[in-house]
Structure 1
Amino acid sequence: MAYRPSKSFKKTALGSGAALLLAALNAPAALTFAEDTYHSYKIRQSSYRIQYGSWGLVDLPEQYRINAMHAALLHTGKVLLIAGSGNNQKNFDKGTFDTILWDPRDNTFKKIPTPEDFFCSGHTQLPDGRLLVAGGTARYEVLDGKVTRAGGGMRVKNESPDKAVTLRKGTRFRSPSGVEYQAKFDVTVPRAKREFEVTYGRGGRMTPWKTKVVAAEARVFVEAVRAGAQGLTTEAAQYEVVGLKGKDADNVYGLAERLSVDKQDFQGIKSAYEFDPLAERYVPVDPMRDARWYPTLVTLEDGRVLAVSGLNDVGDVVPGDNEYYDPRTKKWTKGPFHYFPTYPALFLTRGGKLLYTGSNAGYGPKDKGREPGVWDLRTNRFTKVEGLEDPDQLETSSSVLLPPAQDQKVMVLGGGGVGESRLATRRTAVVDLKEENPVFRTTARLPQGTRYLSSVLLPDDSVFTTGGSTDYRGRSASDIHKAQFYYARTDTFVAAADPTVGRNYHSEALLLPDGRVATFGSDPLFADKDNTKLGKFEHRLEVYTPPYLYRDPARRPVLGAGPQEVEWGGRATFKAADTGRVRRARLMRPSAVTHSTDVEQRSVELGLTKTAGSVTVEVPGDPTLVPPGWYMLFVTDADGTPSEAKWLRVKAPPARPAEPQPEGPQPES
């Protein structure tokens, strides 16, 4: 007789089979859970942290969660996080602009009234510790196919030498055919200039003076009042200003060559402000000469600031008009002419020239202004620097002046192709500016092709790099959850602990005075691997604690009381216990970072002498090496473990009074 299992056996067997099947189906999830549990356990171990460091999320109350586009460390130890409208047109339309001040010592936050849209502005540290913020957003882009009214740039002319003319937003311009356009912003046109001409007749006799009036000009973006094809123009024409009468109507008019329904880019503003770290507020200063969106601001050796590039008030890349800001007069003046794509990485080098590494962020043609070079501001001579591998993948790359600054070596890391390219490079390269004919030389490669990489100088002379993505704006879930240290002396990358939060476009990282690194932001295009869901801005704030802070805390160098100011070439003495452990001293300039661009940070080696209870540091006397301003002073031991920073302001020595000249004739030399 054939064997038949009992009903109970069938149930048991079926139950066991189902359990085995369920276990098999859930095996990957169970394995992942086990791996995650073990990883969570492992990264909490002291041995792991001493080797790799650790990451921690900051508890960020909901009312302080903003789209942090810009981050700057102030000499109060607080971090200014600027969103402006935060790449959110609804905020822009409502006039909702945000800035948050974060104190990392106690993780407290404060909202700062924000007077204008500083989204995609430029910023730099000023000699007195204020932060200059210039430029921002005047208008959001309108993409191809969504432009319904013809628009473009119009030049407004004023032929009156007697008065300037201001036309308010909404002023209408009428074409010869009767089509009307309206100004989208206020525009002020200066007075025309009177120029005198001298002519000579027969015999060289001078004829009476003749006066010529040269019209003044300003630019404004205009848009057709009505939608439709009637607003399209392809030929140059003169436009009357509706509402002006008499001489004003004759003297003031518009000129435009082409008004179209092509894509309309973001447009910049001219506004400039200084953020006062003590009063914790924005203070308006004179506006720039040109509107700028995505500009770079770099502080020079004399304390002035050079503003470079950006999209102007009609959405074009500024064609090469750069300008200086003087913090003493709060005014702007014309600078040397040179074209750069937006957010160019420009570093002040020894001797006062600027190095353009080729790193940039986003706007400009593929074949213009992208080659690295040394720019002499005095002569306006630009000398190209050759040798860079993957020169077509410099957009969204990172650049740093390697520590110490005295070595004059600048590094470029990663980057991608222009625009929405899928290209990303592992290339890193270093140029030694002390060489007679400097060239880039390829150095250790990144673990993988990386765009939007954040690179932060640390007090132990390493470069901490973190985040980024392999594709445009983290497309296809390509964020890189990795971090590493770069050591210039050995030309090697060494792994660090993995960050929890992915960072790509609109992300930042900076060094804090306690030696940690804070990371902010990220603006992914999509939220899933298949690119079907729109991404959301990353609000989480994550802080990295390097391995050097997990060594014996009792043996960490400590700086005591000392001065807050020192002159170029001067000395500063600080109380210190166990000075035998102190080996090196560094001045580190605080960051002002956005779009993978931080031209502020630099680490300067200091002379160091020690006594039983104090250390004395000597600051180089070269202002091109140490631009004026506030710095973090760190001392480190032989292992690179840093003290907490002391804030020290480097300033120019007082001007010497002119020596009295002896009276009477002087002998020839």
Structure 2
Amino acid sequence: MDSLLSHWLLFVFTITITIATKFTHAQLPGTWELLVENAGIASMHTAVTRFNTVVLLDRTNIGPSRKMLPRGHCRFDRFDAILKRDCYAHSVVLDLKTNQIRPLMILTDTWCSSGQFLPDGSLLQTGGDLDGLKKIRKFEPCEANGFCDWVELKDVELVNGRWYGTNQILPDGSVIIVGGRATNTVEYYPPRKGAVMFPFLADVEDNQMDNLYPYVHLLPNGHLFIFANNKAVLYDHEINKILKDYPPLDGGPRNYPSAGSSAMLALQGDYSTAVIVVCGGAQYGAFIERSTDTPAHGSCGRIEATAPNPVWEMEDMPFGRIMGDMVMLPTGEVLIINGAQAGTQGFELASNPCLYPLLYRPDQPVGLRFMTLTPGTVPRMYHSTANLLPDGRVLVAGSNPHYLYKFKAEYPTELRIEAFSPEYLSADRANLRPVIEGIPETVRYGEVFEVSVSVTLPIVGVVEVNLGSAPFATHSFSQGQRLVKLVVKDAVPDGTGRYKVGCTAPPNGMVAPPAYYMAFAVNQGVPSVARWLQLVA
């Protein structure tokens, strides 16, 4: 009888928990949708172009993908261990309007490479492994029905091989390329005189590395905040000098393969303050021991990088997380998405997918900053990405925890592309969503200009106009990610049912490097669909 009672109580408890869990999930903010069932490749690197297309990129030596190149287009590589004659695509472009996929031709290995958009809107792509180690490539985006493709530069290459390096556009529009495996230097594109030694990366290297894919943020004073392992420096790239050592961040290493993530919060006001957040990571030793079940930690450090005596402010996420992506939303909040709750970065070295996204609300006090959102159903493990789209959704792609494509596994190679819609896109906020009716295509630094917006309900309060960059997302860090809130005047009715918002462009390239930006109007926390705006000197 006791046994029957025990089983009955266990059954009731299980049903109660299941119902409660489903009810809780239904109440969580945000929604998911499947955009593409088969992208052909698992995207290791992802970037959104000004033509509202998305470039997805994987390794070239991965073997057969699930997307063929056009007939007659093949890559020949006698050193490729799997396919000497490779007629499969390893890069594709997604049309966000139709969700159609077009194959692209990439010639040399882009495994764990880096990238950044240039001021003219072309995507610079650098390094990789094997025959791609010193290669420089460009993708000049075009309309979705165009035929633009990757071009490998013939007359220039990297001075040092760059595998696991980081790119950051600078105030003059050039790009600094930082680090890489066994490469403790920096160099530039367009090329300058060789590579420059950067001993900081060697100083923080340990026997499980943890100095790869360093977190590089351009501060509004023109200097670089560079974080690797558990330390950071303030670097003057113009004179190659470290100006400041920041205090170490508690909680162990955060960079590859320990797999935390980092973002710089929105720049606003007089643009004199920059705040950096670093969240999550693996326990030290998990990579060395090849441990898949060592719990990840959920600690976050936040530091005012421009303060005279900065210190880290610590807090904890609701979940331990490795390989999470931090995406700056148009509102200034940060979405933390993807990853796992145990193990480390590397092939087949993680377990327990973290399906719950988090919303980080920087203006809230410690303890109230994290909000748990609606979970997804697709594990996004090693080699997954997340990118902000012009319509305010977040594109989620990739996940290949295996050395080759493997579809029969606990966590198979993932070819599906999804979109996550934050709560600001919910139906009950549709009447608040502004529409940008008019905005200049090109704006100069410091220029005063107007943005015309319409909205269903009368505007109450300030309409923000915020510029979001289009970063290069890979390995849990979005290279070049940036959100700049413009100085605006109150929205004024123009007599036609629209409002005019007076804006002042960023003062210089230190606040916002010259580039194409997604310009969002934000009304009471609800962003418009962005219009692309080019910021020029």
Normalised to the residue count of structure 1, the TM-score between the two structures is 0.65
Map of 1:458 onto structure 2: 329
Aligned-pair CA distance for 1:589 = 0.5
Whole-Å Cα distance in 2 between the matches of residues 98 and 42 of structure 1? 40
3-state secondary structure, aligned to 2:459: helix
Query: Relative to structure 1, is the Cα distance of residues 641 and 282 closer, same or farther in structure 2, using a 3 angstrom cutoff?
Result: same
Residue 371 of structure 1 is aligned with which of 192, 207, 231? 231
Contact kept in structure 2, 1:304 and 1:324, CA below 8 Å? yes
Residue 44 of structure 2 is aligned with which of 52, 69, 89? 69
Map of 2:318 onto structure 1: 447
How do 1:466-481 residues align onto structure 2 when only pairs under 5 Å count? 466-469=337-340, 470-473=342-345, 475=349, 477-481=351-355
Map of 1:259 onto structure 2: none
Cα displacement string for residues 131-189 of structure 1 (whole angstroms, at most 9, x for unaligned residues): 100111216xxxxxxxxxxxxxxxxxxxxxxxxxxxxxxxxxxxxxxxxxxxxxxxxxx
Whole-Å Cα distance in 2 between the matches of residues 433 and 302 of structure 1? 21
Map of 1:306 onto structure 2: 176
Letter in 2 for 1:612: P
Map of 2:527 onto structure 1: 642
Percent identity between matched residues is 26
Contact kept in structure 2, 1:426 and 1:445, CA below 8 Å? yes
Query: Relative to structure 1, is the Cα distance of residues 643 and 354 closer, same or farther in structure 2, using a 3 angstrom cutoff?
Result: same
Residue 188 of structure 2 is aligned with which of 311, 324, 344? 324
Contact kept in structure 1, 2:390 and 2:529, CA below 8 Å? yes
Equivalent residue pairs, number: 467
Residue 415 of structure 1 is aligned with which of 274, 281, 294? 281
Query: Relative to structure 1, is the Cα distance of residues 441 and 619 closer, same or farther in structure 2, using a 3 angstrom cutoff?
Result: same
Map of 1:112 onto structure 2: 104
Contact kept in structure 2, 1:135 and 1:291, CA below 8 Å? yes
Query: Relative to structure 1, is the Cα distance of residues 269 and 97 closer, same or farther in structure 2, using a 3 angstrom cutoff?
Result: farther
Contact kept in structure 2, 1:84 and 1:97, CA below 8 Å? no
Letter in 1 for 2:424: Y
3-state secondary structure, aligned to 1:559: strand
Moved more, 284-293 or 65-74: 284-293
Aligned-pair CA distance for 1:347 = 0.6
1:436 has 2:436 as partner: no
Contact kept in structure 1, 2:136 and 2:152, CA below 8 Å? yes
Map of 1:392 onto structure 2: 253
Aligned-pair CA distance for 1:597 = 1.5
Higher alpha-carbon Rg:
1
Letter in 2 for 1:403: A
Uncovered stretches (5+) of structure 2, i.e. residues with no partner: 64-79, 202-210, 495-499
How do 1:76-475 residues align onto structure 2 when only pairs under 5 Å count? 76-85=51-60, 87=62, 94-95=85-86, 96=88, 98-138=90-130, 269-278=133-142, 280-285=148-153, 286-311=156-181, 317-318=182-183, 320-326=184-190, 331=191, 333-339=193-199, 340=201, 341-358=211-228, 371-382=231-242, 383-394=244-255, 395-404=258-267, 406=271, 407-416=273-282, 417=284, 419-420=287-288, 422=294, 424-442=296-314, 444-469=315-340, 470-473=342-345, 475=349
Contact kept in structure 2, 1:77 and 1:513, CA below 8 Å? yes
Query: Relative to structure 1, is the Cα distance of residues 351 and 34 closer, same or farther in structure 2, using a 3 angstrom cutoff?
Result: closer
Residue 60 of structure 1 is aligned with which of 24, 37, 41? 37
Contact kept in structure 2, 1:387 and 1:441, CA below 8 Å? no
1:559 has 2:436 as partner: yes
Aligned-pair CA distance for 1:100 = 1.0
Aligned-pair CA distance for 1:53 = 1.1
Query: Relative to structure 1, is the Cα distance of residues 291 and 413 closer, same or farther in structure 2, using a 3 angstrom cutoff?
Result: same
Cα displacement string for residues 363-399 of structure 1 (whole angstroms, at most 9, x for unaligned residues): xxxxxxx521111112322232104111335431100
Whole-Å Cα distance in 1 between the matches of residues 370 and 476 of structure 2? 19
Map of 1:611 onto structure 2: 492
Whole-Å Cα distance in 2 between the matches of residues 398 and 624 of structure 1? 23
Whole-Å Cα distance in 1 between the matches of residues 254 and 221 of structure 2? 29
Higher RCO, 1 or 2 (CA under 8 Å, sep at least 6)? 2
Map of 2:459 onto structure 1: 580
Residue 488 of structure 1 is aligned with which of 343, 359, 362? 362
Aligned-pair CA distance for 1:33 = 12
Aligned-pair CA distance for 1:274 = 1.2
Letter in 1 for 2:250: E
Whole-Å Cα distance in 2 between the matches of residues 607 and 91 of structure 1? 55
Letter in 2 for 1:539: L
Whole-Å Cα distance in 2 between the matches of residues 86 and 515 of structure 1? 34
Normalised to the residue count of structure 2, the TM-score between the two structures is 0.80
